[in-house]
Amino acid sequence: MTQYLYPQNLKATANLWLWGLRDFAILGIAALLSIVCMVQFGFFIPAAATLCYGFLTIRMDETTVMDFIKYAIRYFITTQQYYEWR
């Protein structure tokens, strides 16, 4: 049985700067389409959506900003909190 020491026995996800590789590819394609929309049509909404997606998919310690927002919504809004008064 071969054991690799780099990176985490080769089971770690591929990251490129602050994003996962899949998110970085989506951002690249979305940025290209956004630039085309801005230049050809003067339409800025795709660029704003691309920037929002880029911010929400920043990955730090295997957690994205979007995951943190989901956890916060689940904790504060959708799940019942248990309180016991004594």
Please report the pLDDT score of residue 39 as a whole number. Answer: 95
Measured between alpha carbons, how far is 36 from 47 in angstroms, rounded to an integer? 10
How many residues in total does the chain contain?
Answer: 86
Boundaries of domain holding 38: 13-78
Domain contains 84: no
Domain contains 2: no
Please report the pLDDT score of residue 35 as a whole number. Answer: 96
The structure's pTM equals: 0.72
Please report the pLDDT score of residue 34 as a whole number. Answer: 97
Question: Phi and psi for 63 in degrees, rounded to 5?
Answer: -135, 135
Domains in the chain, number: 1
Domain contains 40: yes
Domain contains 5: no
Helix (H) or strand (E) holding 8: none
Domain contains 42: yes
Domain contains 1: no
Please report the pLDDT score of residue 4 as a whole number. Answer: 61
Domain contains 25: yes
Give tens-digit pLDDT for 7-29.
Answer: 655 666 777 788 888 999 999 99
Residues of the chain whose pLDDT is less than 50?
none
